């Protein structure tokens, strides 16, 4: 089978306090989220760059979404170009840096692992 798209089509990050989670992600990544109510789901969508690489997703608050530091790890692109910049904003935004900027491989780049304001473990990635 020949694939036409990347394997991930969307992601949800569970939250318990939508206002706090929105503040956290907007402060760390320096972008605005778009609030949406879809049936019982309270959502805040991450910005979508038309024609850009990567996958869109959202914060989600519902009775069946539960934050966890033990589930799937989503890697966010550090649009500053250096994961240390976004990681440097985490503590002030109410999160915790679990793994500081670390080289994966020269041809892949760097990563850092953080705990968001809701208790989800996510990662950051940049080429330098």
Q: What is the mean pLDDT of residues 80-95?
A: 97
CA 44 – CA 42 distance, rounded (Å): 7
55, 45, 53, 51: which is closest to 25 by C-alpha?
45
Beta-sheet pairing, 121-126 with 75-77: parallel
> What CATH architecture does domain 11-126 belong to?
Roll (3.10)
CA 67 – CA 24 distance, rounded (Å): 14
Q: Is the pLDDT of residue 54 over 90?
A: no
pTM of this structure: 0.90
| Average per-residue pLDDT for the chain | 94
Q: What is the mean pLDDT of residues 70-84?
A: 93
Distances (CA, A) of 18 to 1, 2, 5, 60, 76: 40, 39, 30, 8, 19
């Amino acid at each position: 089978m020949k694939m036409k798209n990347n394997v991930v089509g969307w992601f949800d990050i569970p939250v318990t306090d939508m206002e706090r989670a929105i503040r956290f992600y907007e402060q760390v990544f320096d972008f605005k989220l778009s609030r949406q109510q879809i049936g019982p789901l309270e959502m805040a969508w991450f910005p979508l760059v038309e024609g850009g690489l990567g996958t869109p997703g959202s914060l989600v608050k519902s009775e069946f979404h539960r934050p966890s530091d033990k589930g799937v790890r989503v890697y966010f692109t550090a649009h500053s170009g250096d994961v240390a910049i976004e990681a440097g904003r985490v503590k002030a935004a109410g999160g915790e840096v679990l793994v500081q900027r670390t080289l994966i491989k020269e041809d892949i780049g760097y990563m850092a692992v953080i705990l968001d304001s809701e208790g989800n473990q996510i990662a950051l990635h940049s080429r330098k």
